[in-house]
A = this chain, B = another copy of it.
Amino acid sequence: MEKKEIYLESLKTATPQEGRELAIKLARKSVAAIQTDGEIRKKLRNDYAQDTAQLIASSQVIATEFQTIAMANNFWK
């Protein structure tokens, strides 16, 4: 059912900023793995971007993904 697209080659990123961008990408890919119809996702996204509770919940997902990425990069020390 999932797309066979490879969207995660490595958890390593050159900078913390790129780590944030990867965290956001992973969060989006999880939604895409469940709701596989891109048109429906686009429509849904317009809705939740106006809903603060869902924006905050999305930020929580990003925070969790980022923690994993930061660990993988030894916190970019």
Contact = CB atoms under 8 A, between A and B. Distances in A.
Given A26-B20, A50-B40, A68-B63, A11 B75 contact: yes
Contact of A16 (B11, B24, B33, B75): B11
Contacts of A26: 20, 63, 66
Contacts of A59: 27, 30-31, 34, 58, 61
Interface residues of A, number: 54
A66 to B, nearest CB: 6
Interface of A: 2, 6-12, 15-17, 19-21, 24, 26-27, 29-31, 33-35, 40, 44-45, 47-68, 70-72, 75-77
